[in-house]
Amino acid sequence: MLVAGVDSSTQGTKIVVRRADTGEPVRAAQAPHPDGTEIDPRHWWEALLGACGDGMLEGVAAIGVAAQQHGMVALDADGAVVRPALLWNDTRSAGAARDLVAELGGPQAWARAVGSVPVASLTVTKLRWLAEHEPANAARVERVLLPHDWLTWRLTGGGGAEALTDRGDASGTGYYSPADGAYRPDLLRAAFGRDLAVPRVAAPSESAGPVRAAGLPAIGTVSVGTGDNMAAALGLGAGPGDVVVSLGTSGTAFAVAEEPTFDASGLVTGFADATGRFLPLVCTLNAARVIDAGARMLGVDLAEFGRLALEAPPGAGGLTLLPYLDGERTPNLPDAAGRLDGLTRANLTPPAIARAFVEGMLCGLADAVDALTAQGVPVRRVLLIGGAARSAAVRAVAPQVLGRPVVVPEPGEYVADGAARQAAWALAGTPEPPEWGGTAAAEVYEADPVPGVRERYAEVRAGLTGAA
Ligand SMILES: Nc1ncnc2c1ncn2[C@@H]1O[C@H](COP(=O)(O)OP(=O)(O)O)[C@@H](O)[C@H]1O
Ligand SMILES: O=C(CO)[C@@H](O)[C@H](O)COP(=O)(O)O
């Protein structure tokens, strides 16, 4: 029997088809999304239909959707999308985040209420922004969904079909408490000014019903879906002591945990996972696209950029990149810009620049891993995934910057795999998801740590923020 998993992430939709019992890969496809931090959700739907073409879903008995977290999909009374979805990396609601934090009594109050301190990424801040800046649109909104909620609902027919979500994705809204397993309608109301309908939070292995969407085959089971990071943890079979570092559009570091976290510093967001546990997570806005931007600037492709980076010595001859090219979320600097520091005539070379870009991006993630350990998350091994983990230079430099060996599972679509594993779970109806072999085929990258790289980075960051 076959199952399918969909990853509708920032830059594109990926779909994998696997055997339900063993997880053996059968076929895969992808379709790109348009660029931008606000997107009409119909583009995600069209990409999903595109990736599902060519008989991709033939023989598939269950399908699950994982998607980029936090995006605000605002629907009117008829279920129509009111305005393009504001995505997780859209920073226009930074002021709303500051206001909401102050109104509830500060970061500690938010961390206690929902496990996370709102920053512009969280859905609750986008609702406040909408209420304040687009009152006519806000007046039409009756219901708010997340990207994966909306796609799952469309798969099950849309219209009158029940909209569902899961603990994992709900935990990124800012109006759901993962520790209590309950919505906080008071916080949603305080943000938006009135109540809105939200999707029911289904159990991790629940079925949302059969596929009832025009243009798709009749598949008996649509699993409830989840956020992309929760799905990656499920796809990897991450267990206690595993810290996953994902280098996609976002850079994330996260771990599956038995207990919730409540970090009032705001660095660690206390999310839930897709199995009934928790997923403390740190997210940066600047990961794979820092490498893309560096390669574009040097006029080379990604392979050549990586080759150049490995030509330069660790530390890039004193060149340090603070990679806040899209502003930053962790640390919370939505209006920041990047900095290239320490330029000399000797290091103003393509290899040193490429090296500084790779190191700067990884320093942001090294800080993320430190923030997790500060919350008591154990680190037995670091797993490196996401688009930029395909870069040989990133894989080689990661252990130097992170200061520990890095396990790189075989390149794959772990978010889509997690969605497929959830679909297999919904089909099986067992208490735990089916065993799929996890990260058996992984390569370990080791290198001597180069602490000076992070020390220089911390100095440059302190120069920007005034904090060490
Ligand atoms: N070999 C590579 N070297 C560096 N970056 C890569 C490589 N292959 C893919 N990427 C980058 O990975 C990113 C896409 O990663 P992905 O994890 O799919 O992102 P998302 O899930 O956010 O859509 C793109 O920015 C792409 O340029
Ligand atoms: O906002 C977060 C996590 O809190 C991001 O990780 C998004 O979920 C987008 O993920 P990618 O597109 O980078 O996979």
For residue range 320-374, list pLDDT tens digits in order. 999 999 999 999 999 999 999 999 999 999 999 999 999 999 999 999 999 999 9
Q: Is the pLDDT of residue 46 over 60?
A: yes
- Minimal-distance CA residue to ligand 2 atom 2: 69
Q: Which atom of ligand 2 is nearest to the CA of 228?
A: 8
In the prediction, which pLDDT does 467 show?
63
Q: Is the pLDDT of residue 293 over 80?
A: yes
Q: Which two tokens stand for residue 418?
A: 């997690």
Q: Which two tokens stand for residue 10?
A: 């920032």
* 88 touches ligand 2 (CB under 6 Å): yes
Q: Which two tokens stand for residue 427?
A: 């089909």
Q: Is the pLDDT of residue 258 over 60?
A: yes
| pLDDT tens figures, 295-309 | 999 999 999 999 999
Q: Which ligand is nearest to the CA of 32?
A: 1
* 69 touches ligand 2 (CB under 6 Å): yes
In the prediction, which pLDDT does 338 show?
97
281 phi and psi angles, rounded to 5 deg: -145, 145
Question: Which of 166, 169, 228, 292 is an active site residue?
Answer: 228
In the prediction, which pLDDT does 466 show?
72
User: How confident is the prediction for the chain on average, in pLDDT?
Assistant: 97
Pocket of ligand 1 (CB under 6 A): 9-12, 248-249, 288-289, 291-292, 302, 386-388, 390-391
Q: Which atom of ligand 2 is nearest to the CA of 252?
A: 6
Q: Which atom of ligand 1 is nearest to the CA of 288?
A: 25
* 172 touches ligand 2 (CB under 6 Å): yes
Reduced to 3 states (helix: H, G, I; strand: E, B; else coil), residue 287 is: coil
* Mean pLDDT for the stretch of residues 190-216: 97
In the prediction, which pLDDT does 465 show?
79
In the prediction, which pLDDT does 432 show?
94
Separation between Cα atoms, residue 83 and residue 73, nearest integer Å: 8
| pLDDT tens figures, 78-114 | 999 999 999 999 999 999 999 999 999 999 999 999 9
Q: Which ligand is nearest to the CA of 285?
A: 2
Q: Which atom of ligand 2 is nearest to the CA of 271?
A: 4
* Mean pLDDT for the stretch of residues 392-420: 97
Confidence class for position 441, pLDDT limits 50, 70, 90: confident
* 121 touches ligand 2 (CB under 6 Å): yes
Closest CA to 334 of 84, 97, 36: 97
Closest CA to 256 of 285, 227, 276: 276
* Mean pLDDT for the stretch of residues 51-79: 97
* Mean pLDDT for the stretch of residues 201-206: 98
In the prediction, which pLDDT does 275 show?
97
Share of the chain above pLDDT 90, in %: 97
* 8 touches ligand 2 (CB under 6 Å): no
Binding-site positions for substrate: 69-70
Q: Is the pLDDT of residue 454 over 90?
A: yes
Q: Which ligand is nearest to the CA of 91?
A: 2
- Minimal-distance CA residue to ligand 1 atom 27: 292
Binding-site positions: 69-70
Confidence class for position 468, pLDDT limits 50, 70, 90: low
* 166 touches ligand 2 (CB under 6 Å): no
| pLDDT tens figures, 9-34 | 999 999 999 999 999 999 999 999 99
Q: How many residues does the chain have?
A: 468
Q: Is the pLDDT of residue 255 over 90?
A: yes
Closest CA to 118 of 135, 139, 132, 99: 99
State the complex-level ipTM: 0.99
Best mutation site among 37, 149, 228 for ligand 2 pocket (most ligand atoms within 8 Å of CB): 228
User: Residue 33 in contact with residue 90, Cβ under 8 Å?
Assistant: no
> 78 an active-site residue?
no
Separation between Cα atoms, residue 410 and residue 23, nearest integer Å: 15
| pLDDT tens figures, 155-198 | 999 999 999 999 999 999 999 999 999 999 999 999 999 999 99
Share of the chain above pLDDT 70, in %: 99
Q: Is the pLDDT of residue 438 over 80?
A: no
Instruction: Please give the angle made by the CA atoms of 39, 279 and 208, to the nearest 5 degrees.
Output: 60
